[in-house]
Each structure stands twice: as C-alpha cells, then as structure tokens.
Amino acid sequence: MLLVDRCPRCCFPELEMSPNQAYSLMVARYGYIVCPPSSHHYCKRLPIEYRVIRPEGVQLDYLIYDDPILGTYRRAISPVPGKGRKWPVRYHPGDPSRVFIFLEGAWRVLFWTHLPDPAVPFTSRMVEQARKLLLDGGLRKPSQQDIADALVDLQRRMDAPESATARTRRELLRAREDVRAIKRDQARAQFREEEPPPLSLVPTVEEEPAEAAIVDLCDLEEFEVWDPGAPARGPDSA
C-alpha cells in the first residue's frame, strides 16, 4: 500500500518550503544516524585524476603508490575511452598516504611505497612542509625516501612542539586537525571483499485493487484527543 502524505500542502497552504528546508526540518525533528559508507560510495565521492600505471607504480603529485595487484596492468590501456594509458585514480585531498583504483570489480587501495607507518596518518600539508624543509636544505630533487625521512622528523616535532619555530607550530596545529579528520574517514570506510547476497526465492505479490493502492492521509477520519480528566462515558453515549 502506498501512503501519500500531503498534509503540509493541504492543511497549511501558506507554508512554502524548499526541499532543503523540508529536509532540515525533518532532521531537526527526528534526528539522524551516522552510517559508515561502503567502499564503493566512499570512493565515488573522492576527486579523480588520470595517471599511467608505470612499472614503479602510480605517481600522484610527489608520491608513488604501488601494490602487487598492479602487476598485469602496468602500461596497460585504460578502460576509459580517449584516455590512452591513463587510468582513473581516486584520492583523498587531505590524506596522501593512499589512493584508490577500481580493478577486478572492486576498489583497491594503493599505499605510498615509502609509507613510514600505516597506523600514523599524515596530511598533504605535512608533505608540502617536508618538501619545503628539504628544498631549504639544498636538496632540489628529493627522493621518496628523503620525503619519508623528512615526514618522520616532522612527526617528531609534532610530539615535541617546543623544538619548533612559531611558524612551524602553526603548521603543526593545522596538521593535527587534518590528521584527526583523516582518522575519522579511515575508520568509517570499510575496504573488504564484497560478497554478493545469497539468492532466495521471492514470493509472488498479490496485486491490490487500484482504488486501494493510494491513500490520502487528508481523507482519513480524525480521532478525538483523549482527555484523561474527562468523565467516563457509557457505550450508548454520543
């Protein structure tokens, strides 16, 4: 049975609300539940870049990401028409520790090849700060290992902020907030092999009469409000 609720429009014709306003009113009245997104929905919300799967992995900005699953896809033609050998890669703008690529029917996580510690997240701001420290030190083309070492040193400064300058402390404070957000995103996104639901027989649905398919709530009989202080009435009373 399909219930069509048109009470706000029928009973309150002067009330004008946009869909966003109606949604905000519903959330304020009934609340909401935060549900962790699946890996598919999580990755579909992320920005996309097209990169070649090279022998050493996928390079995004200054970092290189790799995984054994890329073995047969290196230098392969992209499934996206007109992109040549560039494959679609999803990434989190604030979390450069990993990127995501859709292979063999599922989203695969590609970690940075020189990730210091997967349990300790870092941010794009920290990568920029680490590269700046290396460039200021005279290293014009830092390697992946150089960036990893600079990140470890930067994380140590976060644990001991008294050894940093005033400007670096401001950068570290912003990096801490980004790290907290990254931890929340990583905890909500569950990446695992998704199994198809088991098949089951669906019983035949009996068709309802057309006149009973739609019920307008405005046509329903209104019940009187129960008053616990009112005198009791007999069965024959009107």
Q: Give tens-digit pLDDT for 185-214.
A: 666 555 555 545 556 666 666 666 655 556
Q: Return the higher-pLDDT residue of 183 and 85.
A: 85
The token pair that represents 27 in the structure block: 């959330």
Report pLDDT digits (tens) over 45-72.
Answer: 899 999 999 999 999 988 999 999 998 9
Q: Return the higher-pLDDT residue of 166 and 237.
A: 166
**In this structure, what are the phi and psi dihedrals at residue 55, rounded to the nearest 5 degrees?**
-55, -35
Instruction: Quickly state the pLDDT bin for 6 (edges 50, 70, 90).
Output: very low
**Measured distance CA(194)–CA(132) in Å, rounded:** 41
Give the pTM: 0.60
Closest CA to 149 of 164, 161, 137: 137
The token pair that represents 29 in the structure block: 């009245």
Report pLDDT digits (tens) over 92-134.
Answer: 888 888 899 988 888 888 999 998 776 667 788 888 888 888 9
- Is residue 44 pLDDT above 50, yes or no? yes
pLDDT at 82: 92
Report pLDDT digits (tens) over 160-184.
Answer: 656 556 666 666 666 666 666 666 6
For 55-59, 76-80, 103-107, 231-235, which range has the lowest pLDDT when averaged over its residues?
231-235
Q: Return the higher-pLDDT residue of 209 and 88.
A: 88
- Degrees (nearest 5) of the Cα angle 21, 221, 11? 30
Contact 126, 210 (CB under 8 A): no
CB-hemisphere CA count at 13 Å for 136?
A: 7
Mean pLDDT of 209-236: 67
